[in-house]
Amino acid sequence: MDITKEYARKLDKEDTLKKYRTEFYIPSGTVYMDGNSLGLLSKRAESAVLSLLDSWKNSGIDGWMKGQHPWYYFAERLGGMCSPLIGAMDEEVIITGSTTSNLHQLIASFYKPHGSRTKILVDELNFPSDLYAVSSQLALHGYDPSEHMKIVRSQDGMLLEEVDIIQAMTEDVSLIVLPSVLYRSGQILNMKLLTEEAHKRDILIGFDLCHSIGAIPHAMDEWEVDFAFWCTYKHLNGGPGSVGGLYVNRKHFGVGPGLAGWFGSDKDKQFDLDIKMTPATQVGSYQIGTPHILSAAPLYGSLQIFQETGIARIRDKSWKLTEYMRCLIDELLSEYAFQNVSPLEQERRGGHLFLIHEEAARICKALKEKGVVPDFRSPNGIRLAPVALYNTFEEVWETVQFLKEIMEKEEYLKFENKREVIA
């Protein structure tokens, strides 16, 4: 493999998405490799926030129904913009809540324990917040989470085997909640296969798309996934704490929301304020409270970019970036005890690489001193996410060169091998 900077620059010249880099605010003097934790601000996202602020400033309460972006229908409008990214129909997607609040809503709506089917199947490598939500929902139903949360174990602590998950789909399982992409290793689970196997056993299944939406294509409808939920501040670049999203397959429309609230009402009857709720007939029924308009505003600008590029082009470049980085790491860092645990196969690897090293916390601090922004995961992991919309192949080359220099000169030794408050 060509490991020269000139080759990296050649790849950048051939990049069909390179024009979008100028649309993002990249912190001065940095190589930003943490887009799978928090995506960068785009000029379009900034413009969308200012536009929504302007509607509040000039229209007051009339902003709910007037202006370029009437607030009353804003969640549905964003859902329609998001639906192509997950392979769903517009009426199946809504932008609302947060990752965990949406998971609570979906479990409350679709977890129907009966007879011996009382358990919720999860995995030990999922983001802990999902497991907290599952545990608390089981407790609310009167079940001991230690007995009724069925956990699939990893064979190596980094990856999951679909066969192990399928074997755990026994007759005592009522619901399954899994990640689409593992937040540490970046492994993509075979959602199509897992959904097929769950449905063969009459089990509903849903996926956490936080680390896959905006990075890889999905086909929720084609795969007949029952539900999904996600955040919008990673690959979707919606901003810190931006509003989450959820998907419910249309075959479940009519299943009432487990957690009811006034914004889940039929839009034509919502302001009648009847004591008895009339839920919306589509995915909007799973909203709870008033939409967070200003927190959702950046997403409108960000999703415009995804509409232009299409997720297929983003995935193509994302794969090339992580594969180029993987090859450079193998070529240049082989003597420094880095272990790359991300899958090698394209169909199994998402938008980031996960490196293990006993000095990971120190190495991350040394990278930041050089202007590279990585992501540390306790106790010994380094996540690096070259994002298709704003990272370059030359930045990938520079990042690996910096890693080599840090290890050659032992520059990491001046730092404490301990994570910061925010990893």
Q: Tell me the pLDDT tens digit for each residue of 127-162.
A: 999 999 999 999 999 999 999 999 999 999 999 999
Both 225 and 81 in a single domain? yes
Both 328 and 232 in a single domain? no
Q: Is 4 marked as binding a ligand?
A: no
- State the residue range of the domain holding 27: 5-32+311-414
Q: Is 127 marked as binding a ligand?
A: yes
Both 80 and 193 in a single domain? yes
Q: Is 290 marked as binding a ligand?
A: yes
Q: Is 211 marked as binding a ligand?
A: yes
CATH number at residue 396: 3.90.1150.10
- Cα(93)–Cα(246) distance, rounded to whole angstroms? 6
Q: Is 279 marked as binding a ligand?
A: no
Both 244 and 117 in a single domain? yes
Q: Is 118 marked as binding a ligand?
A: no
Positions of the chain with pLDDT lower than 70, given as ranges: 421, 423
Per-residue model confidence (pLDDT) at position 243? 98
Contact 162, 194 (CB under 8 A): yes
Indicate whether 421 belongs to any domain: no
Indicate whether 25 belongs to any domain: yes
Indicate whether 43 belongs to any domain: no
Indicate whether 145 belongs to any domain: yes
Q: Is 195 marked as binding a ligand?
A: no
Closest CA to 131 of 104, 158, 163, 161: 104
Q: Is 69 marked as binding a ligand?
A: no
Q: Tell me the pLDDT tens digit for each residue of 162-178.
A: 999 999 999 999 999 99
Per-residue model confidence (pLDDT) at position 418? 79
Q: Is 281 marked as binding a ligand?
A: no
Contact 67, 57 (CB under 8 A): no
- Cα(333)–Cα(331) distance, rounded to whole angstroms? 6
- Cis peptide preceding 217, ω within 30 of 0: no
Indicate whether 42 belongs to any domain: no
- Cα(145)–Cα(192) distance, rounded to whole angstroms? 28
Q: Is 233 marked as binding a ligand?
A: yes
Indicate whether 173 belongs to any domain: yes
Both 99 and 202 in a single domain? yes
Q: Is 298 marked as binding a ligand?
A: no
Closest CA to 24 of 48, 1, 40, 6: 40
Greatest alpha-carbon span in the chain: 70
What's the domain count of the chain? 2
Both 28 and 66 in a single domain? no
Both 82 and 222 in a single domain? yes
Residues near 23 by beta carbon (within 8 Å), at least 6 away in sequence: 42, 43, 44, 305, 389, 390
Per-residue model confidence (pLDDT) at position 423? 66
